[in-house]
Amino acid sequence: MSELTVPAAERAAARVAVPALGCSLGDSGAAVETSISGNSITIRVTLAFPAAGIRETLEREVAAAVRTATDAARVAVEVGWSIVPRAPQGQLAPLPGVKNIIAIASGKGGVGKSTTAVNLALALAREGARVGVLDADVYGPSQPRMLGLAGAEPESLDGKHIEPLKAHGLEVMSVGFMVGEATPLIWRGPMVTQAVTQITFETRWGDLDYLIADLPPGTGDTQLTLSQKVPLAGVVIVTTPQQVATSVARRGLEMFTKVGVAVLGVVENMSTFLCPKCGHEEALFGEGGGAELAAACGVPLLGQLPLNGAIRAQTDVGCPPVAADPEGALALRYREIARRVALELSRRPKDQKHKFPKIVVEKQK
């Protein structure tokens, strides 16, 4: 039976499925404000994650559901978002202006962390967030090239802070700007720690909803520095479907869990190869690795990306797929993953705490 009341309208809105996210609007943590005037209803939905790519569909679906439930003559729906900070509280100095720092990591090298990081950053920006990229790979910085900024030099206006560079709507900082991408760095632990802390805290970031940190492979100094000195809101683990990659990725994932950084989920990269000539799709590196890793660690599989020549070619020349063709099939995949990452993050408790495990060095006898 239809009923033209605020609770009836809001119950109907809460039941609407959020496109491609596998949850209802109610479960997504959205805030709904409703007003009724005569037999017209106005609903304002505020999501906790950016969602430009699904905004219109959601508005249409909420309007249809509310109309059916209430028999209102006119239903106006407006979907927007407000991104909440989920940085750990209390123990670490916050990064001024930055709501959420998300690290992109994997135990293994060459699985596509940097490619995923840059495309996810661009995807979050397309979805309507303010985004920065922190290239924390001091040994092999790749963001300057991937964002078409190779050779650029950031400036300091006050002699204390560094101004981030801008590319495709993102703010960008990389050790690569200081030392050049080709310079092989033979740095010891403390220097790495210092460089990463410095570019994180001395960059004058604007107001950002998300700062995406591209990590080097492994579970070494950068990962520890970042998780113990930088207020990470969460980490996304990248893996290929291969067994060896997933088992190394698992070690990376477990390291973050141990220090209390929220693992938001797993992205499986190079899942299948789509032959550009015959259209045949081949699971070159095996199947199901990402899903198995995610299930074994109790975190969501955030999405899968194909091994695709355009991803490599466009990212290599500084204009990754999400910037080159934001409405193209590849960009839409990254954008869907970006919404999932943001949704997962928004579901974390407000007062996350990092753990600081005691490091015991045994004396040699």
Ligand X SMILES: Nc1ncnc2c1ncn2[C@@H]1O[C@H](COP(=O)(O)OP(=O)(O)OP(=O)(O)O)[C@@H](O)[C@H]1O
**Helix ranges, the chain (H):** 6-15, 55-70, 113-126, 143-146, 175-179, 189-201, 221-229, 243-258, 289-297, 309-316, 321-324, 329-346
User: Judged by CB under 6 A, which of 97, 110, 151, 169 binds ligand X?
Assistant: 110
Query: What's the rounded Cα separation, in Å, for the pair 175 and 154?
Result: 10
> In this structure, are strands 40-47 and 31-37 parallel, antiparallel, or unpaired?
antiparallel
Would you say 53 or 141 has its CB closer to Mg ion? 141
List the one residue from 137, 171, 336, 344 that touches ligand X (CB under 6 A): 137
Please select the residue that binds Mg ion; options are 100, 106, 114, 193, rule is CB under 5 A.
114
Q: Mark the segment that binds Mg ion (CB under 5 A) among 7-15, 137-145, 223-231, 333-341.
A: 137-145
Range list of H helices, 182-324: 189-201, 221-229, 243-258, 289-297, 309-316, 321-324
Q: Is 112 exposed, middle or buried (0-12, 13-18, 19+ CB in 10 A)?
A: buried
Binding of Mg ion by 70 (CB under 5 A): no
Q: Is residue 109 involved in binding ligand X (CB under 6 A)?
A: yes
How far does the chain reach from its first CA to its final CA, in angstroms?
80
Candidates 11, 204, 312, 347; binder of ligand X (CB under 6 A) is: 312
Among all chains, which residue has been given the structure tokens 């840059």? 118
* Nearest in space to 43 (alpha carbons), one of 80, 76, 70: 76
Closest distance to Mg ion from the beta carbon of 218 (Å): 11
Question: Binding partner of residue 115 among ligand X, Mg ion, none, CB under 5 to 8 Å per kind?
Answer: ligand X
| DSSP-based three-state secondary structure for 26 | coil
Q: Does 115 bind Mg ion (CB under 5 A)?
A: no
Q: Which stretch binds ligand X (CB under 6 A): 196-204, 220-228, 247-255, 308-316?
A: 308-316
Give the x-and-dash track for 150-189 against Mg ion (CB under 5 A): ----------------------------------------
Q: Residue 116: CB partners within 8 Å, gap ≥ 6? A: 104, 236, 238, 267, 269, 305
Name residue, tokens 């910085």. 141
Whichever of 112 and 290 has its CB closer to ligand X, that residue is 112
Interacting partner of 203 out of Mg ion, ligand X, none (Cβ under 5 to 8 A depending on kind):
none
Name the minimum Å distance from CB 322 to Mg ion.
Answer: 17
Both structure tokens of 75 = 């239903």
Binding to ligand X by CB under 6 A, coded x per residue (else -) over 190-229, reads: --------------------------xx------------
- Let me know: does 348 contact 86? Beta carbons within 8 Å: yes
For Mg ion, the closer CB: 34 or 114:
114
Query: Which residue, 144 or 164, is less far from Mg ion as judged by CB?
Result: 144
What residues contact residue 88 under an 8 Å CB cut-off, 6+ apart?
231, 232, 233, 260, 352, 353, 354
Residue 217 touches which of ligand X, Mg ion, none (CB < 5 to 8 A by kind)? ligand X
| Residues making contact with ligand X (CB under 6 A) | 109-115, 137, 140, 142, 216-217, 269-270, 305, 307-308, 311-312, 315-316
Query: Which residues are at the interface with Mg ion (CB under 5 A)?
Result: 113-114, 142
